[in-house]
Structure formats: structure tokens, C-alpha cells
Chains A and B, each alone.
Chain A
């Protein structure tokens, strides 16, 4: 039907009640909540996941059904269709002025709201923190709230409010939580698809949620042209492209329904991270902490908690930003990407994956299914330089892994993002110290080599000159750690 568009029938729980909605493929959770459900407490501040005003709690069974977790998400980056089978809690679901939730009460008592626009987002971020951790540290409060911007308070009162929520462990989860969690334990309804008249001025868009890799590849085959689809793993890139750059895609292919892709598991050599594992999954997983401390350090400083709760490691590699932090980690850790098509799998070292500015080794209809990391076995270091210390895209980010033989450098990899069209390995710098005793002179030589072998980009995050200085400084610091 030429003048028809697809709609997706979803069912989920919203503030304790089961609801159903027909959403359009390009619709965000924020639009759905504010529009169809009239829940205007959730605000649009930037529409790209950077301000946190639209933060909501999305609850679902985690870790193979072991635990029901609420995680903070910027609802502007969540496709509405993704709410299917979840429990969404918005600010309206916590309390009303006459009967405030303890977190809301703390904000009121600490005078932690001024204009009020950012307040619901802060409270929802704190709700997700306290739902799991009744006694967070100062650093954990910072981590939970660094993705929420406030322009009025200077955060002083907000921090006081956040730190004053104590002794209320049993009162954080709303009374409707338990029955909803139970109801969702057996939730296995499928999405339903229908057609509706295409609104004037709109372009048709289809949403697909294949449930096996085979069906995914069949679907991609049917779609054909790679320009006509975008794969959604976490959605944090695709939805920004749609919201801010107003890019339109004929087909959105959501791979969240494909089983097995979200797994993080041990392998003979190390750890394999599935394509759907979120950045938060990576930071929280015990295997990553134990075997890949560098990866954990890098991912912990990517984006905000809300975005890490959606975004995936595989997605960050696939988007191939010249300053992708995950790519820098993958290069330093000598990771291997598992790429799959209808024909089967192939393994590509991270060092061969990035081909040019936002170009990768991925062929038509090919998908990253996992990233395999060898276990770390030597000293490492990671440095990220960005304009703002917290939640910012790197100007330059570098990572080093090394192995020492006595005081000689037996092996070394130094990866660098932000200093070329793709993240690169600094081969010259590595060569300058490989097999040598480390001494200040050698370090200086390596730093010079590093500066000479990069061709930094020049943009709003830093001039070429500055980035060269950063690369040099980073290399000196990395190598000094080996002394």
C-alpha cells in the first residue's frame, strides 16, 4: 500500500499499569510518553541523550531472568517499540505533591529544584540508583547523575538531596513493582504489526525485529541495498541521527530479539562480548573486571550511565568514529571481531577492521555478532582527554598494553583515537621502545615518534596542534607507568 505506514503494536507496563499502544517505527519512547500517554513530567531537553531531562526507569528481567532491574534511560534515544515487555516508571509513577516519594521529598527539603525542568530526570536517575543500592558512595551518586544536566542549581543542593536519602531502603520501589515484575516474568507476547494511513509529509518506515540470525539475514537480503536499512543494537547512534540530523531510514532492523547475542562469556583465551551486550553489561561483568581491566576502565568513561544502559560495545565499533573509545580499547587489547553473514562467520582483528573515516571492514548484510578479547596479562594504561572531565567525547584517547621481560619491553601496543581518520595503533611509538630498556630518553623518542605518525583531525574538540600535544603527553605517561 503506497500511502500506508507500518505500526507496531506493543504492550508494556507503565507506572504499574498494563498498557498497549500502536507506535510508529521512528517514534521514540519520549514522544510516546509525552504524546499518547500525556506524561509531560518527562521533558525534552536536547533529543540526543546528553542532558538527561527525559530520563525514565525501564525495568526488565536481567541476566537470564535472575533479577528484575530498573535502569535509567534517556527516553529520547529509546525506540518506542523497545518498551514492549518492560516496566516503565516515569516521574508521575513515584509520587504526587500530597504524597511524595522519599527521593522527591529529599529534593523538596534540600531546595534542590529551581526552574524544575531538569528535576524529574534527576529523580528518575536517583530512583534507579537507590532501587539497587541503598547506601551509595559520593562517587556512585556522581556516576548516577553525571548524565543529568542542571543549569540552575550548580548541583550543590542536588548533591545534598541525593546524599540525604538514607534509611528508606524499603520505600524506594513503588508498591506496584512486585506484581508487575511477576507479570513480566511470564511475558512472551509477540509484537504485532499493522498498517495505518501514512501521515501527510511522512516517509514510510518499517521496523523489523527478527528473532533468529537466519531470519535477520533473510530480511537483509530482501531489503537489498545497504543504504536502505540501519541495524539497531542499542540505538544510541541511529536515534540521534534520526532526531538531530533528521536522517530517515526505510528500514530499522532491531536485533534485540535475537537470542544469544547479549552474552558475555569466557573463552579459551579470554572473554567474548556479544553484540547486544550494553556498555553497562561490560562494566558490570565479573569476567571483564577480572580479565580485562583496561576494557572496563575505558567503557566506564564512555558517555553517561543512561547512554551506557542502552548503547553497545559492538555498536560503538560499528559506527567507527575516529575517536571511538571502544575502538581504542579493542586495538590495544588486540581484540577480534566476529562478523557474520548468511554465508557464515569470519574473524577480523580490530587492527584490520577500521578502513577509513567511518568506514569499516563490514560488508553488505554483515553483522558484528561478538568481540573476542584475549585476557590481559601485563601492565596497561588508559588516558582520555576531553574538554569536560565527565561525559564527554574524547579529544584524544589512548590505551596501552604491554609485557615486560625484566626491564625490557617484550611486547607493547599503543592505540590512539582522535588523532587520525580512524582509531590507530601507534606502531612507530611502539617500535621505539620494543625490545629496549625503558629510560626517559627512550620514552621521549617514542613520544616524538607518536607525534610524527599521527595526523590529527582539527575540529571543535581540539586543534591539530593540541591533539598532537595530547598524543605526545599520553605516550609519555603510558610509558612512564612501565618504569
Chain B
């Protein structure tokens, strides 16, 4: 195996835990955001329906505002984390390219390393984590709605923020671990 390929292989191994944590954190973030969106849609439907004008309606309005605020906060947190991950990744790439250039690496040799970095270390954690989170939350949201038909509305609506809360706490823990691991 050439040393360039060896550098890429060892870099993947060295960054495996950070990439996994990043992916898991994005899974939780996109999952939570999806759940919150589904929840918000249901609250909106509910406000137009049976709870409109009842005392529960005020509670639902407050809940809707808190959910929006949480979603915005979570989006900002996710964007910032992706940015930090990208900055770290690209600063490492720039440094490696500078070293290889000073040693006389060819454009192809540098491109090979750059491609491995982007295609293996950077893109998959972001894409897989986000896509899996969206899909899992969409399935969980649909399942939750179908399996809780007939449950008392207050209890039903409380389930969602509770579930999202667990995901947000997990998410924060993962981000913390990710930054620490990197």
C-alpha cells in the first residue's frame, strides 16, 4: 500500500470515533427537529379543531411557541457544530496539503488524499446522520400518532416534548463528546 493510501487509512481509523459521534449527534438533531415539526403540525391541526377556544387552547399556544423556540435553538446548535467540524477537518486538510506540497507530492497524490478526506471522513457522517435522523423520526412520529389514537389529548401532546427532550439531552451529550473526542 502506498504511503498516501496509508495516511488516509490511518486518518480514517484515528478519526473514526469523532466521525461516529458527529454522525450520531446529527442523527439526534435532525430526528428531534423532524419530531418537533410533526408535533407542531399536529398542534396546529388541534388548535383549529376540538381544543380551539378551550383552556387547553392557551396551553397549546404556549407549547407551540416553546417548540418553535427549541427548534430554532437546535438548528443554530446543529449549524454551529457542523461548522466547527468542517473548520477542524479543513484546517487539518490544509496542513497536510502544505506538508505534501513541500515534499514534492504531485497534484494527483494530493487530490487522492483530499478525496479520501472529503468522501470518507467528511461527507458520510453528515449525510448518513442527517438522513437516518429524518427517516427514523418520520417513522417514529407516524407510529406514535397511530398508536396513541384515543389517548387523553394532554397526555398525548406531552409525549412529544418528552421524547424530543430526551433526544435534545442525548444530542447535547453527543456534541460535547464529539468536541472533546476531536
Partners in one complex: no
Interface set of B (CB-CB < 8 Å, partner A): none
